[in-house]
Amino acid sequence: MPRHQDRAAGGRRRASHSMESVLTEAVVLLDEAGPSALTFRALAQRLGGGVASIYWYVASKDELLDRATDHVIGGVLADIDAIEPGDDPIDDLRAISLALFDAILVRPWLGNYFMRNTDVQGNCLRLYEKLGQPTLRLKLTARQRFHAVSAISTVVVGSAVDLGQEPPAEVLDGAVGRDEFLSRFTATWRELDRDAYPFVHEIVDEFDGHDDIDQFRAALDLTLAGIRLQAGA
């Protein structure tokens, strides 16, 4: 019998990889070159079997992407489960948010498929539940809790996806540094009419050489502060 197959019901041959191995290799391909590189043919070659063998585990590329995302989120969820709840639910929200942000920052493709199909993404749904549970300790209505978690998710996932993208080609190949690249914009902004662009002139020095992670943390803290204010905490 071939190495990667065994006999299934009705005489049909079944691939002997596991769902775990399929998803692990799918994540490797996604990390290496993004969703466009994840094809059933490329995955089958990595696993040492035929394309048809992948269909034993997933019915389509969309399902594969959803399950690969959930596979990674399982590890994130384990890290979040290890966080001991504190006295302040806002602090707990912040800790969970930072763990999710860190995971998506290094794998920006995650953000495109997180919570896309919770019928197969059990880990994503459990993480969403973990993020929502601290709000149950705040004096909020059900709608306010829903909006609070939606706002946090938008800030965390959106920021991580944005910051995780490759920089412009000239920065990526080392022709110019990040600060030099940003300085081109700030030089132009400083030439703008101050009366027409008073805000831009006010913040241009802050934009010049700003830290992206610091900017994200500020956005998260503003969101959390709004939730705290709404809850009267």
Whether residue 95 is predicted with pLDDT greater than 90 in this model: the reply is: yes
**Residue 20 in this model has a pLDDT that exceeds 90:** yes
% the chain with pLDDT above 90 = 74
- Choose among 145, 105, 103: nearest CA to 123: 103
Spatial distance between the Cα atoms of 134 and 84, rounded to a whole number of angstroms: 12
* Residue 158 to residue 215: CA distance in whole angstroms: 13
Residues above pLDDT 70, as percent of the chain? 87
pLDDT classification of 114: cutoffs 50, 70, 90: very high
pLDDT of residue 210: 85
Residue 159 has pLDDT above 90, yes or no: yes
pLDDT given for residue 13 in this prediction: 44
Report the pLDDT value the prediction gives residue 170, as an integer from 0 to 100.
62
> At residue 198, does pLDDT exceed 80?
yes
Taking only the tens place, the pLDDT of each residue in 40-66 is: 999 999 998 889 989 999 999 999 999
User: Rounded distance, CA 120 to CA 66, Å?
Assistant: 7
pTM above 0.75? yes
Q: Answer whether 189's CB lies under 8 Å from 210's CB.
A: no
pLDDT at 209: 81
- How confident is the model at residue 14, as a pLDDT? 45
Q: Where are the alpha helices (DSSP H) in the chain?
A: 19-33, 40-47, 51-54, 61-81, 89-106, 109-113, 122-132, 142-164, 169-172, 178-190, 198-207, 212-231
Structure tokens at 19: 């769902």
Residues 184-190, mean pLDDT to the nearest whole number: 89
pLDDT at residue 166, rounded to an integer: 62
Residue 168 confidence (pLDDT): 57
**Which position has the token pair 């969970």?**
96
| Predicted pLDDT at 180 | 76
Domains, the chain: 87-233 (1.10.357.10)
> Mean pLDDT in the chain?
88
DSSP 57: T
Ranked by mean pLDDT, the top range of 6-20, 40-54, 215-229 is 215-229
Q: Is the pLDDT of residue 136 over 90?
A: yes
Provide the pLDDT confidence category of residue 173 given band limits of 50, 70 and 90: low
Is residue 140 predicted with pLDDT exceeding 70? yes
- Is residue 139 within 8 Å of 231, Cβ to Cβ? yes
Residue 112: other Cβ atoms inside 10 A: 14
When mean pLDDT is compared across 160-164, 169-173, 226-230, the lowest value belongs to 169-173
